[in-house]
A and B are shown apart, each in its own frame.
Chain A
């Protein structure tokens, strides 16, 4: 084992002992030594150009509670303000909307993308209980809840990892379930109905189940690889109660009325995920690829590349690029022609064909013996078909996909106490 110049003998021995005794089980979280808490904190500032702003302080604390047994507590608080597209299509005249709660009206100027303005907060809490049931088997049970003013989500999951092959191979299996309750102010609108006259229903809910199988393999002294397959099913109320759509005239493209969106009441998704971690002489490369598809017609590819460049003993720079591309849902369109609105219809731009590119840089620095500070800056640009071929009349002159630009700044501090 090569010792770094200034590494203390105690640290080196600890690493060596740990390596020899436990092998290296790569799906295992960082070892927590003695009975101290390992604390990770961060504050994230997320800002979209002319849209949503989020401030999210977050903390995670992990502690050994027995031999090979750990507990992790997680908390995130989100404060959200700003505007989000309501789904209606831009037109060549001003449009006026009544806010979902019915309290105020909003006017969108000609050519602009209609938005709802909102303010919300979200508190998410989670706990993981991780323990080794034998020398080669490790289980993790997790529980999560998340609460917004108009939304509740609860989730449970169980994961098991088996180390095989002298701990060079790890097989994983996981099962997760979730229950979400949607309760917008004033009730959930009847999906697919005219906005002005839609019945208001009570709260609605949805449930989900997901399973995951994975294999992690040490390829050689410098390379680690993971391959996962995930299948997820959800059913119930899968609409966004705030999203509407424009029904337009087949000749002029003028908006005739607004309907609440209506999505199918079930969704089935399959995901393949591959990741490689490669250790160069000092630097480390992380590369991942994900293929996603569901029965709504969405297929996507995600490539994520991060390179950790060591700046000496104590600090590093980590540039990152992420590319994402998705096809649109079968029932998505920017607007729908009067008289031929299908059973399922949505104009939520997140269901549209689109590409997204994220560029980022992170700087991390060790502080003292076991603390680290880091800051990252990332810029995401999402773009879609702003001039689709099926635009009607004056729609051809309008931008029918509002590009999204978002900046993320995150400050993190990790320590033990």
Chain B
């Protein structure tokens, strides 16, 4: 199974670390844009929860963005 996961891991790791090569050490006083609400990884948690519930009940995949939350019968 690890072999099957490997290409994706490598691909994502490449994206991440190639980008990471260009990481700039952003100083605290330059973090104004990053501090805006709309720059949150999850800008609307309620919407994210409702969406996760819809897609969990209609598709066979789940999780990834975070952990936790209850299940459902979901007909």
Chain A contact residues, CB within 8 Å of chain B: 1-2, 15-16, 18-20, 23-24, 26-27, 29-30, 40-42, 44, 46, 52, 56, 58, 60, 74, 76, 80, 84, 116, 118, 120, 122, 124, 126, 142, 144-146, 148, 150-151, 153-155, 157, 159, 166, 168, 174-176, 178, 180, 182, 208, 210-212, 215-228, 230, 232, 240, 242, 269-275, 277, 279, 284, 286, 288-296, 298, 300, 302, 308, 316, 324, 326, 329, 350-351, 354, 356, 374, 376, 380, 382, 404, 406, 408, 410, 412
Asked if B58 and A382 sit within 8 Å, CB to CB, the answer is yes
Within the complex, the shortest CB–CB distance from B70 to chain A, in Å, comes to: 4
A230 close to B67 (CB less than 8 A): yes
Q: Which chain A residue has the least Cβ–Cβ distance from B57?
A: A350
**A284 and B31 contact, Cβ closer than 8 Å, known pairs A225-B16, A324-B55:** no
Query: Is A153's CB under 8 angstroms from B34's CB?
Result: no
In chain B, positions 1-55 with a C-beta closer than 8 Å to chain A are: 1, 4-5, 8-9, 12-13, 15-16, 19-20, 22-26, 28-41, 43-47, 49-50, 53-55
Tell me, in angstroms, the Cα distance from A295 to B38 when the chains sit together: 37
Instruction: Summarize B's interface: helix, strand, loop or mixed.
Output: loop
Count the A-B residue pairs with Cβ separation under 8 angstroms: how many? 243
Is the beta-carbon distance between A157 and B60 smaller than 8 angstroms? Answer: no
Question: Do the beta carbons of B35 and A410 come within 8 Å of each other?
Answer: no
Cβ contact within 8 Å between B32 and A1: yes
* Cβ contact within 8 Å between B39 and A224: yes
> Taking CB as reference atom, which chain A residue is nearest B50?
A44
Tell me whether B24 and A220 are in contact (CB under 8 A): yes
Q: Tell me the complex Cα distance, A289–B60, Å.
A: 16
